[in-house]
């Protein structure tokens, strides 16, 4: 096995992960703090027979990504808050028309132009609800450079397997953090391709349900000549307003995620077995939380950390299990309180849930978390 150790910063790790995952098309628009993903892709893609294009705006970038993916090529874009806002409508199209794609959103301070060069975790709820209507959502929140690399590969695999957009959420700190990482051994890397339509094109229904709920995708040029639309469509791909068909079509989209939670959910538990104060933290905040938990344990406080890597769908059952001994939950995040709402929804009837929030463009430090752990443990 060849192990290649490289010093990479988070944005470059994202690009290298995408290349390893088989991404061969990138369309983007310059935006801080994600631009290095586009820059790296512009250099890497030609070397592997792929295509990079800098589009005229954020909307064009995601639209071009959908076009390339509809053509059968694994595709991605990268952006940050303002661009993520602009891309929402087309993320909905990707969900509705079941076009796989990966969107890396490097979170910076908002609202609006906000603090472009400072970190934040303010797009958690936007990733879940940003595009109108009911749609399936997968969002992953890596906490290190190595994890950016690994989760980018996983984002492509999930996107292909379930034929839907997958969002990578990390923040400005991780995007510009330099860490040594081990690149994947390509020979042993598990790569997923979307299910492709094969066989007779006569009577082929592009959105017919299957055992997995994921219909095989017809590749243009293979003779299927199907219709792809953002209008709600029946199994034949053509628009419908038939209440029964509309219900079935929308429910199938949602079920793709709901019925495969075990495959999609991912998380880490640190010292949660007997934890009385449970921290739920993600991304860069989880690293501070881990340090705080270690120090708390050193001071005899039964603290633990539950770290969701899959933010959406949130790993509910795993959280409940991790919180089985908890007397209080603390959710540190670099926003005014977003994921804490989901935690309250899941365990709030049984447990007090507190937030620890920073909205000043500064990462949360271990001391702040330790202080709150002590307060909650003393109650």
Partner 1 sequence: MNEITPDKFEIRDYLRLDLMPHFMCPGCGHGIALRALLWAVHELGIDKDNLAIVSGIGCSGRVGAYIDANTYHVTHGRPLAFATGLKLARPDLKVIVITGDGDCLAIGGNHLIHACRRNLDITCLMLNNEVYGMTGGQVSPTTAETRLTTTTPAGNSEPAFDACKLAEAAGAGLVGREVTMQTPALRNLIKEGLAYEGFSFLEVMSDCTEIYGRKNDLGDSAEMVLAQKSDMRPEAYTNSAEQPFRPNRLVTGILARNDRPEYGDTYRRQAAALCGEGDDAA
Binding site for partner 1 (CB under 8 A): 24-25, 27, 43-47, 49, 51, 53, 55-57, 59-61, 63-73, 75, 89-90, 93, 220-231, 238-239
| C-alpha separations of 232 from 59, 236, 278, 376 in Å | 21, 11, 42, 49
* Least Cβ distance, residue 215 to partner 1 (angstroms): 16
Nearer to partner 1, 57 or 367 (CB): 57
Nearer to partner 1, 66 or 139 (CB): 66
Nearer to partner 1, 134 or 211 (CB): 134
CA angle 149, 154, 160 (to 5 degrees): 135
> What CA–CA distance (Å, rounded) separates 261 from 131?
21
Q: What are phi and psi of 78, to 5 degrees?
A: -140, 150
Nearer to partner 1, 49 or 300 (CB): 49
**Is residue 134 a contact partner of residue 142, using CB atoms and an 8 Å limit?**
no
* Least Cβ distance, residue 72 to partner 1 (angstroms): 7
Interacting residues of 360 by C-beta distance below 8 A, sequence separation 6+: none
Nearer to partner 1, 53 or 269 (CB): 53
CA angle 317, 129, 19 (to 5 degrees): 80
* Least Cβ distance, residue 237 to partner 1 (angstroms): 9
Interacting residues of 200 by C-beta distance below 8 A, sequence separation 6+: none
* Least Cβ distance, residue 27 to partner 1 (angstroms): 6
> What CA–CA distance (Å, rounded) separates 340 from 329?
9
Q: Judge residue 219's burial from the number of C-beta atoms within 10 Å of its C-beta, 0-12 exposed, 13-18 middle, 19 or more buried.
A: middle
Q: What are phi and psi of 265, to 5 degrees?
A: -70, 140
Nearer to partner 1, 164 or 369 (CB): 164
* Least Cβ distance, residue 44 to partner 1 (angstroms): 7
Evaluate the CA torsion angle 317, 321, 326, 331 in order and state its sign.
negative
Q: Please give the distance of CA 197 from its chain centroid, rounded to a whole number.
A: 27
* Least Cβ distance, residue 228 to partner 1 (angstroms): 5
Half-sphere exposure of 141 (CA within 13 A, CB side): 32
* Least Cβ distance, residue 249 to partner 1 (angstroms): 15
Nearer to partner 1, 44 or 150 (CB): 44
DSSP for 322-349, written as a single string: HTTT-SEEEEEESSSSSHHHHHHHHHTT
Nearer to partner 1, 69 or 79 (CB): 69
Nearer to partner 1, 25 or 314 (CB): 25
* Least Cβ distance, residue 63 to partner 1 (angstroms): 4
| C-alpha separations of 56 from 60, 102, 137, 152, 221 in Å | 6, 19, 27, 25, 28
* Least Cβ distance, residue 239 to partner 1 (angstroms): 8
């Amino acid at each position: 096995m060849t192990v290649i150790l490289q010093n990479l910063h988070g944005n470059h790790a994202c690009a290298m992960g995408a290349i390893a995952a088989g991404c061969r098309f990138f369309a983007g628009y310059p935006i801080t703090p994600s631009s290095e993903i586009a820059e790296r892709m512009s250099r890497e893609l030609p070397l592997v027979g792929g295509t990079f294009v800098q589009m005229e705006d954020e909307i064009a970038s995601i639209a071009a990504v959908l076009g390339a993916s509809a053509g059968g090529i694994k595709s991605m874009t990268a952006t940050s808050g303002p661009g993520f806002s602009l891309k929402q409508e087309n993320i909905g199209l990707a969900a509705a028309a079941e076009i796989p794609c990966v969107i890396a959103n490097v979170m910076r301070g908002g609202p609006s132009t906000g603090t472009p060069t400072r970190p934040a975790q303010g797009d958690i709820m936007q990733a879940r609800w940003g595009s109108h209507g009911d749609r399936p959502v997968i969002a992953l929140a890596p906490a290190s450079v190595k994890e950016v690399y690994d989760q980018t590969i996983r984002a492509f695999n999930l996107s292909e397997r379930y034929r839907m957009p997958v969002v990578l959420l990390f923040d400005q700190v991780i995007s510009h953090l330099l860490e040594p990482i081990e690149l994947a051994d390509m020979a042993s890397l598990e790569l997923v391709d979307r299910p492709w339509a094969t066989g007779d094109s006569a009577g082929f229904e592009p959105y017919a349900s299957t055992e997995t709920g994921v219909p095989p995708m017809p590749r243009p040029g293979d003779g299927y000549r199907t219709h792809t639309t953002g209008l709600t469509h029946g199994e034949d791909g053509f628009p419908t307003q038939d209440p029964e068909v509309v219900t079935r079509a929308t429910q199938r989209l949602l079920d793709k995620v709901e019925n495969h939670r075990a495959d999609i959910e991912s998380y880490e538990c640190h010292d949660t077995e007997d934890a009385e104060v449970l921290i739920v933290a993600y991304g860069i905040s989880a690293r501070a939380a881990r340090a705080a938990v270690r120090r708390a344990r050193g001071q005899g406080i039964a603290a633990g950390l539950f770290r969701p890597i899959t933010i959406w769908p949130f790993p509910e059952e795993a959280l409940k299990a991790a919180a089985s001994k908890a007397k209080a939950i603390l959710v540190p995040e670099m926003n005014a309180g977003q994921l804490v709402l989901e935690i309250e929804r899941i365990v709030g009837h049984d447990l007090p849930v507190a937030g620890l929030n920073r909205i000043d463009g500064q990462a949360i430090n271990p001391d702040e978390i330790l202080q709150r752990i002590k307060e909650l443990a003393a109650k």
